[in-house]
Amino acid sequence: MAELVLSAFLGVLFEKLASAALKSIALNKGVDAEIKKWQRSLNQIQGVLADASHKEITSPPVKRWLNDLQHLAYDIDDILDGWVTEAMQSESTHKSEGITNKESVKTKHPQLHYEAKLYMLLQGGTGVPHLKWIGVEGEYNAMVIDLLGPSLEDLFNYCNRKFTLKTVLMLADQMRFSSRDIKPDNFLMGLGRKANQVYIIDYGLAKKYRDAQTHKHIPYRENKNLTGTARYASVNTHLGVEQSRRDDLESLGYVLMYFLRGSLPWQGLKAGTHYKNRAPLAATAVAGIDRFCRRY
Instruction: Select from 141, 151, 153, 147 the least CA-distant residue to 112.
Output: 141
The amino acid occupying position 243 is Q
User: What whole-number distance in Å separates Cα of residue 99 and Cα of residue 287?
Assistant: 40
Within 8 A by CB and 6+ apart from 119, the residues are 128, 129, 131, 145, 203
User: What whole-number distance in Å separates Cα of residue 28 and Cα of residue 223?
Assistant: 54
Q: Residue 181 catalytic?
A: yes
- Choosing from 77, 181, 247, 248, the catalytic residue is 181
Helix (H, G, I), strand (E, B) or coil at 294: coil
Question: For 63-75, b where at least 16 C-beta lie within 10 A, e where not — what string?
Answer: eeebeebbeebee
Within 8 A by CB and 6+ apart from 41, the residues are none
Catalytic site residues?
Answer: 181
